């Protein structure tokens, strides 16, 4: 029997469950498993660069003999005809410009002679002629500048020279090879037509100069009047 004054601690029976119940284990946070890294991807192999493709020349729609005949026809009816026209116009305008220059210089020379004779003779009529001749010479010079023959002749000369240069694209008939006329005919036509368009554009610039001169009170002869059209 136990002594109430000296209590002894009682040890719980290990077989009996505790009144507090089983202690729960601490919960672990649900962490996802680490994602495996993807394997390294090798860079794509760069294919070797292909050599630049050689441009294939356009096949001419004409045979060599037909291209030769068309070239001769184009030279005769287009290039040579236009070059002859330019040459005639250039000669005509140069002649008109030189003739007006010679007339003006001749009038001034006659005016000098008449002036010297009027001093010796003392006649009033010679003094009047001496005063009028320089005015005639100035009128001839103004007429020459009005039509701009030198400028128009230079345009025709430049176009004629350009046509002769375009003619050099043609092969020499004594040293032709198969396919020369087929290759040179398109170049000849392109260069010739470009020259003719440029020559026509020059007249358009002169027309603009005529209009601007008329607005500014200046008188400039249009190309149609100078060409006699």
Please spell the DSSP secondary structure of 79-104, one letter per residue: IHHHHHHHHHHHHHHHHHHHHHHHHH
Residue 4 in tokens: 């109430």
Confidence bin at 48 (pLDDT 50/70/90)? low
Span 112-166, pLDDT tens digits: 888 888 777 777 788 888 888 888 888 888 888 888 888 889 999 999 999 999 9
pLDDT band at 78 (very low <50, low <70, confident <90, very high): very high
What are the CB-based long-range contacts (under 8 Å, 24+) for 97-104?
Answer: 97/144, 97/149, 97/150, 97/153, 100/140, 100/141, 100/143, 100/144, 100/149, 101/144, 103/140, 104/137, 104/140, 104/141, 104/144
Least confident of 35-44, 48-57, 84-93, 189-198: 48-57
Query: Tokens representing 181?
Result: 């006329």
Q: Which residue has the higher pLDDT, 85 or 18?
A: 85
Residue 33 has pLDDT above 70, yes or no: no
pLDDT of residue 32: 61
Quote the percentage of the chain above a pLDDT of 90.
Answer: 17
Alpha helices by DSSP H, listed for the chain, are 64-74, 80-121, 124-147, 149-167, 180-215, 223-226
> Is 51's pLDDT higher than 80?
no
pLDDT interval class at 88 (50, 70, 90): very high
Q: So what's the pLDDT on residue 192? A: 92
pLDDT for 24 equals 52
Residue that wins the pLDDT comparison between 111 and 8: 111
- Share the mean pLDDT of the chain: 75
pLDDT at 17: 47
- The pLDDT assigned to 144 comes to 85
CA 184, 190, 194, 197 dihedral sign is positive
Note the pLDDT of residue 95.
93
């Amino acid at each position: 029997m136990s002594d109430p004054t000296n209590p002894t601690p009682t040890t719980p029976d290990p077989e009996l469950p505790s009144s507090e119940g089983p202690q729960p284990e601490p919960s672990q946070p649900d962490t996802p498993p680490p994602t495996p890294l993807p394997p390294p991807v090798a860079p794509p192999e760069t294919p070797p660069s292909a050599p630049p493709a050689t441009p294939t020349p356009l096949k001419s729609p004409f045979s060599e003999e037909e291209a030769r005949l068309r070239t001769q026809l184009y030279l005769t009816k287009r290039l040579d005809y236009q070059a002859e026209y330019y040459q005639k116009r250039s000669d005509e305008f140069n002649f008109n410009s030189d003739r007006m220059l010679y007339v003006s210089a001749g009038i001034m020379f006659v005016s000098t002679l008449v002036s010297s004779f009027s001093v010796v003779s003392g006649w009033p009529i010679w003094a009047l002629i001496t005063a009028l001749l320089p005015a005639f010479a100035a009128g001839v010079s103004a007429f020459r500048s009005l039509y701009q023959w030198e400028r128009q002749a230079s345009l025709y000369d430049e176009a004629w020279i350009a046509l002769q240069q375009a003619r050099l694209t043609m092969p020499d008939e004594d040293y032709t090879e198969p396919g020369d006329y087929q290759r040179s005919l398109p170049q000849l036509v392109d260069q010739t037509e470009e020259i003719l368009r440029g020559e026509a554009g020059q007249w358009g610039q002169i027309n603009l100069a005529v209009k601007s001169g008329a607005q500014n009170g200046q008188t400039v002869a249009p190309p149609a009047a100078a060409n006699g059209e």
